[in-house]
Amino acid sequence: MEIVFASRHESNPREWVAALQQALPEHQVRLWDACQPRGQADAAVVWAPPADLFAHEPQLKHLFNLGAGVDALLQIPDLPADITLVRMEDGGMAVQMAEYVLHYLIRESRDLGQYADLQAQARWQPLEDIDRDAWTVGVMGGGVMGARIAQVCAALDYPVAVWSRSGRPVAGAQSYGQDELADFLARTRVLVNALPLTADTQGILSRAVFDQLRPDAYLINIARGDHLVESDLLACLDSGRLRGAALDVFSCEPLPPGHRFWSDRRIRVTPHIAGASLMSLTVQQIAGKVRAVVRGEPITGIVDRMRQY
């Protein structure tokens, strides 16, 4: 196979090419060069690929995405209908996503932000003991990310609910199917979004959803910025409906200077780092899938274009 690496975001593309070539010595791996396209690549490894990749490489049959989310890929106007899209399944991201959620869950449920404020005033003042039953974590999306987040929160004895399309069981959590959203939200104090961005889920983090959560609820959005209606979040923070939010993803990335989120003390901002795909695990996974394809065996992680994830 001839495999090209094409990413506009990776700072070290040559390292990726070298790692892929080392993992797949029987295949040819090269950095895609818009000035010298060869037009013979069978597969591409991509994250935010250049728009002209598909016009210049008409033989591509497989597109291996370096990330879990394929929303941006599916919006590329020239994306050929017959290319098989393969997404990253975990690649070291799930445990990081779980850590991220746990950090903010513990910070809120154990009043660690308030203790930091008390330290600044040199005040020794124990606050109320934690009531775990009041801190149900509700995870939207029970896939690779959502299931790991649920499992980690449950391991610390937080009650956990998971909402997904199918309502399939997730260990340690109570599962809710698509038509059980209201029951799921009514239990939830810390709402975690781990959904793919699709036509069905865009704008789902809205006032209508926030209004159904338990009082004094907290939002953690680690999926995509376009899931969130930003003005609804600000309104719900102002009204006291939500106590705060941790946001890793934004409609416009990088978050523009001067955006209200930067300076709002109730909001924690991180630059889309909740779960980074790790090079060694990612390369290992892609190499395994390339070999399976060559042997004519089925692979997992193929994107269903109708479902958009």
Q: Which of 4, 6, 68, 237 binds ligand OXD (CB under 6 A)?
A: 68
* Contacting range for ligand OXD; rule: CB under 6 A; set: 50-58, 62-70, 165-173, 256-264: 62-70
The least CB distance from residue 105 to ligand NDP, in Å, is 16
CB 3 within 8 A of CB 27: yes
Q: Which of 67, 141, 143, 225 binds ligand OXD (CB under 6 A)?
A: 67
**H or E segment and range at residue 221:** strand 217-221
Binding partner of residue 178 among ligand OXD, ligand NDP, none, CB under 5 to 8 Å per kind? ligand NDP
Spatial separation of the C-alpha atoms in residues 145 and 269, rounded to whole Å = 20
CB 17 within 8 A of CB 31: yes
Q: Which of 16, 43, 46, 69 binds ligand OXD (CB under 6 A)?
A: 69
Binding partner of residue 244 among ligand NDP, ligand OXD, none, CB under 5 to 8 Å per kind? none
123 catalytic? Reply is: no
Compose the 234-273 pattern: x for residues touching ligand OXD by CB under 6 A, - for all others.
Answer: ----------------------------------------
Beta strand 28-31 with 2-7 is parallel
Instruction: Give the closest residue to 163 by CA, choosing from 183, 189, 133, 148.
Output: 183
Q: Which of 24, 85, 98, 194 binds ligand NDP (CB under 6 A)?
A: 194
Burial of 63 (0-12, 13-18, 19+ CB in 10 A): buried
3-class DSSP assignment, residue 300: coil
Q: What is the strand order of the sheet 137-140 is part of?
A: 174-176, 160-163, 137-140, 190-193, 217-221, 242-247, 267-269
Q: Which of 224, 242, 246, 247 binds ligand NDP (CB under 6 A)?
A: 224
259 catalytic? Reply is: no
Beta strand 84-86 with 267-269 is unpaired
Task: Pick between residue 237 and residue 249 the one whose CB is nearest to ligand OXD.
Answer: 249
Does position 144 interact with ligand OXD (CB under 6 A)? The reply is: no
Spatial separation of the C-alpha atoms in residues 259 and 269, rounded to whole Å = 11
* Contacting range for ligand OXD; rule: CB under 6 A; set: 65-73, 111-119, 135-143, 227-235: 65-73
CB 195 within 8 A of CB 145: no
CB 102 within 8 A of CB 190: no
Q: Which of 146, 159, 225, 244 binds ligand NDP (CB under 6 A)?
A: 146
Q: Which residues are catalytic?
A: 224, 272
| Residues at the interface with ligand OXD (CB under 6 A) | 67-69, 93, 275, 277
| Residues at the interface with ligand NDP (CB under 6 A) | 68-69, 93, 141-146, 164-166, 168, 178, 194-198, 200-201, 222-224, 248-249, 272, 274-275, 309
